[in-house]
């Protein structure tokens, strides 16, 4: 409660957050919805404490996806800037992967990753559901934690096979957690050193064994990308397919159980998954940087200013989603933004939905029930809505 009051600066009555918005405050990520609602109504382009801006309305975020003045490449002031490529693994690695690239580099990398992804994804629907059923069968009769025992080992097994790596959960989690630090502000030297060490270890893990035929690593190795870029893009896919998915499964299941009465029995599972990802969007904000001076919402921004697109807010915007707070599977895909839009849209969206839906389906078939009704606890992770430990037990 104390944290809550401090976040709302004593004015919880009207839900006005303290401004400028502090995106580094764990209190925001514990429950971002009221803050997004206030910002959408009162300050749709709000200044952040770290010197950037956050955009919260659905319509503005849609426009931002096609605004040529907003790019993905780190600004020249960032430790990840191109000029630092020889100085750190983090800067060298981000230079190789699409989320940190703009045209012209982005186009061939994205084409190579997308082609390799779809080559391997082709038969994924034949084996991903089986892995979900195996995981649920292994836990039958036990009370288990949603994330630690169910979602995490499943996501790691799927992505180990997809990418072509040993199913070593500890090594995979170390690699994927280290990787996601690249998407949070780098605040001090010690943290940056730890991130670089984790990335070095991840690169060694990915290069330790020859890529098995049919795997993403094999496809990327043959894609024409330079060898280190191929490995770094395999790490990107591994991280996206583990971290967002273990959280997505836990939140989807939590929402499904909480809103069971609103879900007609014949609702397709993919529609339930998509609605859960809308209401609890795993990637709450995605970063952009102004590549040139630009005027947004009447505010003049210079070059090199971070602008965060709050997808989590856009997905709750009543202007785009009637009865936005309700769990209503089957909404039009046109307005959903959990996978982004445009030139950087998520390459692995179909695999993400397949993984979460496969697990929801396996649990439904096994008749799993919840043994505690504790509210879902989220990790204090910058910009993400990720379920943490103790996300609830099932049996
Ligand atoms: C529920 C699960 C997932 C969510 C919510 C999610 C969300 C996103 C979002 C919002 C973006 C766009 C970022 C931007 O515009 O800057 C993105 C990009 C990307 N995602 Fe996903 N993702 C998920 C699962 C996956 C999976 C399973 C994979 C791969 C197997 C994947 C691979 C990628 C890649 C490679 C990009 C970069 C595209 C680019 O920058 O051109 N994602 N994802």
What is the residue-averaged pLDDT of the chain? 90
- Check residue 31 and give its pLDDT: 86
Q: Render pLDDT for 194-219 as a digit per residue (tens, 0 to 9).
A: 999 999 999 999 999 899 999 999 99
Q: Cα(321) to centroid of ligand 1, in Å?
A: 22
- Check residue 164 and give its pLDDT: 98
Cα–Cα distance measured from residue 310 to residue 28, given in angstroms and rounded to the nearest whole number: 12
Decide: 140 and 368 in contact? Cβ < 8 Å. no
Cα–Cα distance measured from residue 259 to residue 253, given in angstroms and rounded to the nearest whole number: 10
Structure tokens at 188: 């001090």
| Residue to probe by mutation, ligand 1, list 102, 183, 248, 348, most atoms within 8 Å of CB | 348
Nearest CA to 238 out of 81, 97, 88 is that of: 97
pLDDT for 3 beyond 70: no
Q: Render pLDDT for 43-77 as a digit per residue (tens, 0 to 9).
A: 999 999 988 999 999 999 999 999 999 999 998 88
| Residue to probe by mutation, ligand 1, list 121, 216, 240, 248, most atoms within 8 Å of CB | 240
Decide: 181 and 198 in contact? Cβ < 8 Å. yes
Between the two ends of the chain, the Cα-to-Cα distance in Å is 32
pLDDT for 5 beyond 50: no
Instruction: Place 392 in a pLDDT band, splitting at 50, 70 and 90.
Output: low
The two most distant CA atoms of the chain are separated, in Å, by 60
Domain boundaries, the chain: 2-394
List of E strands, the chain: 45-47, 53-55, 70-71, 144-145, 285-290, 294-296, 299-301, 306-310, 393-394
Q: Render pLDDT for 264-315 as a digit per residue (tens, 0 to 9).
A: 889 999 999 999 999 999 999 999 999 999 999 889 999 999 999 999 999 9
Three-point CA angle 170, 172, 173, nearest 5°: 65
Instruction: Place 395 in a pLDDT band, splitting at 50, 70 and 90.
Output: low
Q: Cα(39) to centroid of ligand 1, in Å?
A: 25
Q: Cα(368) to centroid of ligand 1, in Å?
A: 29
The partner residues of 370 in beta bridges, in order of sequence, read 394
Three-point CA angle 96, 99, 100, nearest 5°: 60
Give the residue whose CA is nearest to atom 29 of ligand 1: 348
The class level of CATH for 2-394 reads mainly alpha
Q: Render pLDDT for 156-207 as a digit per residue (tens, 0 to 9).
A: 999 999 999 999 999 999 999 999 989 887 878 999 999 999 999 999 999 9
Three-point CA angle 247, 150, 380, nearest 5°: 30
- Check residue 372 and give its pLDDT: 64
* Residue-wise burial string across 60-70, b where 16 or more C-beta atoms lie within 10 A, e elsewhere: bbbebbebebb
Decide: 394 and 146 in contact? Cβ < 8 Å. yes
What is the CA 387 to chain-centroid distance, rounded?
12
């Amino acid at each position: 409660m104390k944290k809550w009051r401090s976040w709302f600066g004593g004015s919880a009555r009207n839900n006005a957050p303290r401004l400028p918005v502090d995106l580094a405050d764990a209190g925001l990520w514990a429950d971002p919805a009221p803050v997004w609602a206030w910002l959408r109504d009162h300050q749709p382009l709000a200044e952040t404490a770290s010197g950037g801006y956050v955009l919260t309305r659905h319509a503005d975020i849609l426009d931002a996806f096609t605004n040529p003045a907003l790019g993905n490449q780190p600004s020249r002031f960032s430790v990840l800037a191109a000029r630092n490529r020889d100085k750190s693994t983090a800067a060298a690695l981000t230079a190789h992967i699409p989320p940190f690239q703009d045209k012209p580099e982005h186009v061939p990398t994205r084409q190579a990753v997308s082609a390799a992804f779809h080559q391997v994804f082709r038969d994924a629907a034949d084996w991903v559901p089986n892995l979900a059923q195996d995981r649920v069968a292994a836990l039958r009769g036990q009370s288990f934690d949603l994330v630690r025992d169910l979602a995490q080992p499943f996501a790691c097994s799927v992505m180990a096979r997809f990418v072509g790596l040993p199913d070593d959960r500890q090594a995979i989690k170390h690699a994927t957690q280290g990787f996601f630090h690249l998407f949070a502000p780098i605040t001090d030297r010690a943290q940056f050193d730890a991130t670089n060490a984790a990335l070095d270890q991840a690169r060694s893990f990915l290069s330790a064994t020859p890529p098995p035929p049919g795997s993403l690593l094999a496809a990327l190795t043959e894609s024409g990308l330079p060898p280190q870029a191929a490995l770094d893009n395999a790490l990107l896919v591994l991280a996206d397919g583990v971290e967002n998915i273990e959280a997505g499964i836990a939140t989807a299941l939590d929402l499904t159980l909480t809103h069971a009465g609103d879900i007609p029995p014949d609702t397709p599972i993919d529609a339930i998954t998509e609605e859960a990802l809308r209401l609890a969007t795993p990637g709450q904000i995605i970063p952009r940087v102004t590549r040139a001076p630009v005027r947004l919402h009447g505010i003049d921004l210079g070059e090199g200013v971070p602008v965060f697109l709050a997808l989590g807010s856009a997905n709750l915007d009543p202007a785009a989603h009637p009865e936005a707070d309700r769990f209503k599977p089957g909404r039009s895909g046109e307005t959903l933004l959990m996978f982004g839009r445009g030139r950087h849209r998520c390459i692995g969206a179909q695999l993400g939905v397949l993984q979460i839906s496969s697990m929801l389906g396996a649990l439904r078939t096994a008749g799993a029930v919840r043994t505690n009704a504790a509210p879902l606890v989220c990790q204090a992770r910058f910009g993400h809505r990720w379920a943490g430990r103790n996300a609830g037990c099932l049996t």
